[in-house]
């Protein structure tokens, strides 16, 4: 029995390292980059009072409205599924050479990324099949459902804190430029500088956006108004209402555009 399980695991690992899956996973980075680009542009428009849904659900909806939108949606779905599978493979099979503490951290990170891309794949599929909903409303409904469950308020606060902590981690990774360890940077100095600059600005902006989402979860739960936990779109809208919010939201939008461009570059330069 052990031999069969080991053979099955080896087969899965070999499949995860196949050329086709790696190419598809790289496409997943590019698709995610495109969605961040679109989200960033909507965030900037939102800063100046133009309507739009500034999150990945809104970006997918925009993509669906383009010529050949259905093909784009299913392509995005396939690419994100491939990237989710690749990250799952990393979480299960890789990092064995690292010390225990670092190994756990890397595996948890890869597992978290796998979940993110799996959710994004589902978003593409829902939009392609006509079952998509306003993501802010979906987040609000999700929060209300959890709050009604026993211990739901505590769980929502934990979720909010976890998202906020991930946001802080993103900012730290950006400031330290730690993401460079995951890349084979261009040989030219100019290319390295551009990719690094996009990564720094992008990681910091993404971290700020995630921190806002986590904060919104916590505030909505503590104030017993779960309908206000409207995800990234709600977080960026709340940012606009703050003093100098126009400038801060514009800066975050520009940072998300940088992160989108960084992910597109990562599609080429990622170590896989």
Out of 5-9, 31-35, 135-139, 177-181, give the one with best mean pLDDT: 177-181
Residue 271 C-beta-side C-alpha neighbours within 13 Å: 9
Q: Strand, helix or coil at 225? A: coil
Question: What's the pLDDT tens digit per position in 89-121?
Answer: 878 776 666 677 777 777 777 788 788 778 778
Mean of the per-residue pLDDT values of the chain: 77
> 10 Å Cβ neighbour count for 173?
20
Query: Given a cut of 60, is residue 210 above it in pLDDT?
Result: yes
CA 174/CA 78 separation, integer angstroms: 29
**Considering only 2-11, 16-25, 207-216, which range has the smallest mean pLDDT?**
2-11
Residue-range definition of the domain harbouring residue 15: 2-269
Angle between helices 100-128 and 69-93 (to 10 degrees): 160
Q: Which two tokens stand for residue 65?
A: 């409205």
pLDDT of the residue at 55? 54
CA 161/CA 163 separation, integer angstroms: 6
pLDDT of the residue at 264? 92
pTM of the model: 0.76
pLDDT of the residue at 133? 58
Q: Which two tokens stand for residue 111?
A: 């597992």
Query: Given a cut of 70, is residue 251 above it in pLDDT?
Result: yes
Percent of the chain with pLDDT over 90: 12
> 10 Å Cβ neighbour count for 187?
7
pLDDT of the residue at 204? 94
CA 262/CA 186 separation, integer angstroms: 13
Place of tokens 């996973």: 25
CA-to-CA dists, residue 242 to 102, 124, 234, angstroms: 39, 32, 13
> 10 Å Cβ neighbour count for 142?
15
- Residues 6 or more apart whose CB falls under 8 angstroms from that of 148 comprise none
CA-to-CA dists, residue 144 to 55, 116, 134, 233, 237, angstroms: 20, 21, 15, 17, 20
Predicted confidence band of residue 59 (pLDDT cuts 50, 70, 90): low
Predicted confidence band of residue 227 (pLDDT cuts 50, 70, 90): low
> 10 Å Cβ neighbour count for 35?
26
Report yes or no: 255 and 205 within 8 Å, Cβ to Cβ.
Answer: yes
CA 249/CA 48 separation, integer angstroms: 9
How long a stretch of residues is the chain?
Answer: 272
Predicted confidence band of residue 64 (pLDDT cuts 50, 70, 90): low
pLDDT of the residue at 7? 45
> How many structural domains is the chain composed of?
1
């Amino acid at each position: 029995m052990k031999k069969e399980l080991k053979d099955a695991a080896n087969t899965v690992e070999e499949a995860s390292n196949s050329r086709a899956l790696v190419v598809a996973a790289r496409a997943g980075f590019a698709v995610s980059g495109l969605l961040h680009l679109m989200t960033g542009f909507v965030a900037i428009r939102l800063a100046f009072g133009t309507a739009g849904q500034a999150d990945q659900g809104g970006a997918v909806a925009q993509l669906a409205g383009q010529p050949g939108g259905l093909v784009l949606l299913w392509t995005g779905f396939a690419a994100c599924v491939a990237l989710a599978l690749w990250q799952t493979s990393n979480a299960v099979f890789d990092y064995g050479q690292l010390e225990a503490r670092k190994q756990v951290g890397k595996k948890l990170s890869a597992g978290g990324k796998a979940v993110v891309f799996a959710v994004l794949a589902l978003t593409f599929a829902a939009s392609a099949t006509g079952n998509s909903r306003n993501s802010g409303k979906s987040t609000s409904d999700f929060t209300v459902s959890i709050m009604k469950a026993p211990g739901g308020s505590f769980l929502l606060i934990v979720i909010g804190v976890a998202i906020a902590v991930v946001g802080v981690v993103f900012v730290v990774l950006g400031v330290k430029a730690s993401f460079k360890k995951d890349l084979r940077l261009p040989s030219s100095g100019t290319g390295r500088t551009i990719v690094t600059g996009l990564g720094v600005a992008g990681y910091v902006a993404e971290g700020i956006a995630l921190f806002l989402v986590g904060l919104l979860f916590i505030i909505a739960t503590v104030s017993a108004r779960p309908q206000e936990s409207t995800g990234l779109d709600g977080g960026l809208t709340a940012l606009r209402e703050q003093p100098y919010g126009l400038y801060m939201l514009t800066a975050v939008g520009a940072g998300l555009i940088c992160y989108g461009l960084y992910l597109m570059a990562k599609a080429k330069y990622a170590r896989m």
